[in-house]
A and B are shown apart, each in its own frame.
Chain A
Amino acid sequence: MNGEDIVTEKEVEDVYQRLDRETSQAGYNLNPDTEVTMELVRGLLVNEKRYGYWACPCRLASGNYHNDLDIICPCDYRDKDVTEYGSCYCGLYVSKAVVKGEQKVDPIPERRPPPEERVQITQREGTLSLPVWRCRVCGYLCARDEPPEVCPICKAKKERFERFM
């Protein structure tokens, strides 16, 4: 039931290697504490089997895709937390300073608002020739009729885009 036993060491290792490669190419950094990072990857894979998506392993997912969109890894809060605290909420992504050993990864407060205060992804109308879409994960902007299927920068899915202008 908890899915822990159906994720193999090889799966964890393979995903870790891929993530490590993609992350550095995109200018982000995985936590250099590989014991923590591997455990987080395992949690993500357990959640993938449980829910069908990479819900944050350190947050309680509802199991409803739409309600969990903001906490699908990489979450909407990663960039702000890495900037402010040197690490994202679960500790998978860290700042350059942490990689260099100049900053420590400490527990950080939960930035995700409670359910009643969560902002719904907006679809407001504008007066531009094309709408501008913003990726809520990495901030990438593009002007086109629809957001891209996948963010070309951070690979977040179309549903993670909000109308920006």
Chain B
Amino acid sequence: MKMNHVEGDDKGHVMLYALSTCVWCKKTKRLLNDLHAEYYYVDADLLHGEEREGVMNEIKQWNPKCSFPTLVVNNRTCIVGYKEDEIRGLLK
């Protein structure tokens, strides 16, 4: 699966599950950019078939509702939704 990589400062492993059409996902990407964090993201709506299913199964482990944006940091902490303060706190 093609993961998008955004260069930045190392603030841990940051993985964002997003939708290309979602305004809150866009805001999350913008916030990560503003924080200069290095991160990976995938837009699930641009995937099809098995690729999409694979990503949904990954998200489900963190967020059973499979909603977007789902942000996973260091394979340990998960933030669902554009919670600006929480994200800022986690990626200081």
Binding site for B on A (CB under 8 A): 1-2, 4, 36, 39-40, 42-44, 46-47, 57-61, 90-91, 107-110, 114
**Which residues of chain B come closer than 8 Å to A57, judged between CB atoms?**
19, 21-23
In the complex, the answer to whether B82 meets A107 with C-beta atoms within 8 Å is yes
How many angstroms from the CA of A1 to the CA of B20 in the assembled complex? 11
- Does B88 sit within 8 A of A, measured CB to CB? no
In the complex, the answer to whether A110 meets B22 with C-beta atoms within 8 Å is no
- B41-54 CB mask vs A (1 if < 8 Å, else 0) is 00111100000000
Task: Name the residue on B nearest A92 (C-beta).
Answer: B23
Main secondary structure on B side of the interface with A: loop
How many angstroms from the CA of A109 to the CA of B37 in the assembled complex? 26
**Which residues of chain B come closer than 8 Å to A46, judged between CB atoms?**
20-21
**Which residues of chain A come closer than 8 Å to B66, judged between CB atoms?**
60, 114
How many angstroms from the CA of A111 to the CA of B57 in the assembled complex? 20
Q: Please name 10 further chain A to chain B contacts, defined as beta carbons within 8 Å, in addition to the given A58-B68, A59-B67, sorted by A numbering.
A: A2-B46, A4-B20, A40-B23, A43-B23, A58-B21, A60-B19, A60-B45, A108-B81, A114-B64, A114-B66
Question: What number of A-B contacts does a CB cutoff of 8 Å give?
Answer: 57
- Does B36 sit within 8 A of A, measured CB to CB? no
Binding site for A on B (CB under 8 A): 19-26, 43-46, 56, 64-68, 80-83
In the complex, the answer to whether A91 meets B24 with C-beta atoms within 8 Å is yes
In the complex, the answer to whether A58 meets B23 with C-beta atoms within 8 Å is yes
How many angstroms from the CA of A108 to the CA of B80 in the assembled complex? 10
In the complex, the answer to whether B44 meets A36 with C-beta atoms within 8 Å is no
**Which residues of chain A come closer than 8 Å to B20, judged between CB atoms?**
2, 4, 46
In the complex, the answer to whether B21 meets A36 with C-beta atoms within 8 Å is no
**Which residues of chain B come closer than 8 Å to A42, judged between CB atoms?**
21
How many angstroms from the CA of A44 to the CA of B27 in the assembled complex? 17
| Least distance between B6 CB and chain A CB atoms (Å) | 17
Contact of A58 among B24, B43, B65 (CB under 8 A): B24
| Least distance between B68 CB and chain A CB atoms (Å) | 7
In the complex, the answer to whether A109 meets B65 with C-beta atoms within 8 Å is yes
Task: Name the residue on B nearest A51 (C-beta).
Answer: B45
**Which residues of chain A come closer than 8 Å to B67, judged between CB atoms?**
59, 110
**Which residues of chain B come closer than 8 Å to A59, judged between CB atoms?**
19, 67-68
Known A59-B67, A61-B45; contact A91-B23, beta-carbon cutoff 8 A: yes
How many angstroms from the CA of A59 to the CA of B68 in the assembled complex? 7
